[in-house]
Every structure is written in C-alpha cells, then in structure tokens.
Amino acid sequence: MPTSEFQKRRSAIKKIIVGSLSVGSAAKAFSGVPSPSHPNVNYIMKGNINHSVCRWCYGSIPLEEFCAGVKKIGIPAIDLVGPSDWPVLQKYGLYSSMCSGAAISIEDGFNDKQNHSTLEKNYTDMIPLVAEAGYKQLICFSGNKRNLDDETAWANCEEGLKKIMGVAEQHNVTIVMELLNSKIDHKDYNCDKTAWGVELVKRVGSENFKLLYDIYHMQIDEGDVIRTIRENHAYISHYHTGGVPGRREIDESQELYYPAIMKAIVETGYKGYVAQEFIPSPKDASGQLASLENAVKICDV
C-alpha cells in the first residue's frame, strides 16, 4: 500500500475513534491513566484472563509496597517469587502463580547431566514446599546448548526431568520450562523454539510437565505468535508478556497487538495465568504501577 494512502486511512480511523469517545474516555483509553472520576478501585476485571505480574520487573519497589499496589490494581497473583517472599504475598491475599527457587540458573539446566544431581535435590526439596503453600507451578530451564545437538539435549532433559516427575505428580505441582529467545537476551539458550519445547513435553510424557510460553521471547525468535499458541496450547501452562522490541510497555509503542493475542489465548480454553513481564519506563513507583495497570487493562479482553 502506498505510504500516502496508508497515512490517510490511519488518519481516518483515528478520527472515527476519537469522534466516538468523549474527551475523558478517550484519554483513559489511550493513556491508561485513570481519571479522577474513575479511580483504580472502580475498574472491574472481565474475568476472562487471570492476571499476574513478574516481581523482578519491579525490583526497585519494596515488596510490601509492590504487593499493596498490585492488590489495588486488582491483580490477584505475582510470578517468580520463592518461599522467603510467600508470607508477604499471603499477607496481601496474593497468589504465587509461578514459583521459583529450585533452578541453578538459566544457563545451567536439565540439558547437562552434570547438573542432574543438584537439580534433583533442589526440585524434590522445593516441590513439597510449593504444594504445602497451596501453589501449583514451579519454573525450570533447559540450560545453554554449549554445542549439544538437539537429540542429546532432549535426551538429557528427559532423563533429568523424569527423576523429579514422580514427586511433582504426587504433589500435583507442574514443572514448567520457559521458552526464551537465544537471539537477543539469552544467547545459546536451548529451549528457544516452541517446537523444541513441545517435543520435550511429549518425551517426558507427564501432565505435570509443561511450557511457559513467553510472548516477548517467542516473537523475537520465531514470530507467528497467535498461530503457534492455537496449535500448541495443550503443551502450555503459563504465559508471559513483554513489548517487542525492548521488553518495554505493551501499548501502541511496540509491534505486537496484545488484545488479539489475549483473545486467541482465551479461545483455546486456557484457565491459567498471564503474567506481565515488561520493564516499565517510569522510574518512580507510582509511574511503574500506572504502567502495569495500563498493561493489565490492555490484556483484559
């Protein structure tokens, strides 16, 4: 399409949208900042998406303050916290939707047999703690390739994961391997494509082993996000968000259209959590929480 025609169509669409909204509601729709007559507490979630947020993205905000802010927005859960922080979440009535604390590191995972004994101990110790606290998911990582071919990496991961599957099944805890991009953020990471992770899930053969589909990471490494989700949702038990490029806000400043992605997830019958995992642009706590609130509203389809 010629540039001039595209600009005309874009301008026309914008005029239609603005003309159909009052000034106040338009400001709310595009800025995500609630007006004085519509404070945060009055926003009611639609109930189709179970919202969560990754703690590490807001590390500059003390945990108690962060929990209070998350609770005010209406987010019921926080991702990637370990046992030491669970009491604070519980104090604020928040759920730990993706537990952490058993992995060695992102780089050192189940694809290396030298890590198996440590990982077996870490996970068999942690899984009962997760279950006792009333939680259901615990994150894990493949580790970096370090020149491993796919077949060896799959075999090693399968062997190591099967050592902990019995404990996971006994306690009804799902071990979830995260899909991460190896192009920008995690060079040489093994589980960097959905197909690779799906093959591993099939080999492990347990309902207690699934994938964490990180939308940000998979857009970078493979794209075709909605089709991939529709075709592979049976192997996915958790989702993370993030703006591409840069892992910033998921608004109109980046290339993904999150409302469509969320609708596709809902259409699969997914009942788990979608956790915001973008790095907020504002430096102050109030600005970061406002950015988080806007992202939740974008995804609340």
Average pLDDT over residues 121-146: 98
* pLDDT above 50: residue 12: no
* pLDDT above 80: residue 21: no
- Range with the lowest mean pLDDT among 29-43, 63-77, 214-228? 29-43
- Range with the lowest mean pLDDT among 38-42, 124-128, 201-205, 270-274? 38-42
Average pLDDT over residues 183-187: 97
pLDDT (0 to 100) of residue 27: 28
pTM: 0.86
Going along the chain from its start, the domains and CATH numbers come out as 1-31 (no CATH), 38-299 (3.20.20.150)
Residue scoring higher pLDDT (264 or 11): 264
pLDDT (0 to 100) of residue 42: 59
Average pLDDT over residues 256-264: 98
- The answer to whether the Cα torsion of 104, 106, 110, 115 is positive or negative is negative
pLDDT (0 to 100) of residue 215: 98
- Range with the lowest mean pLDDT among 5-14, 15-24, 134-143? 15-24
- Range with the lowest mean pLDDT among 42-56, 84-98, 113-127, 196-210? 42-56
pLDDT (0 to 100) of residue 43: 78
* pLDDT above 80: residue 132: yes
Percent of the chain with pLDDT over 70: 86
* pLDDT above 90: residue 170: yes
* pLDDT above 80: residue 1: no
Mean residue pLDDT of the chain comes to 89
* pLDDT above 90: residue 28: no
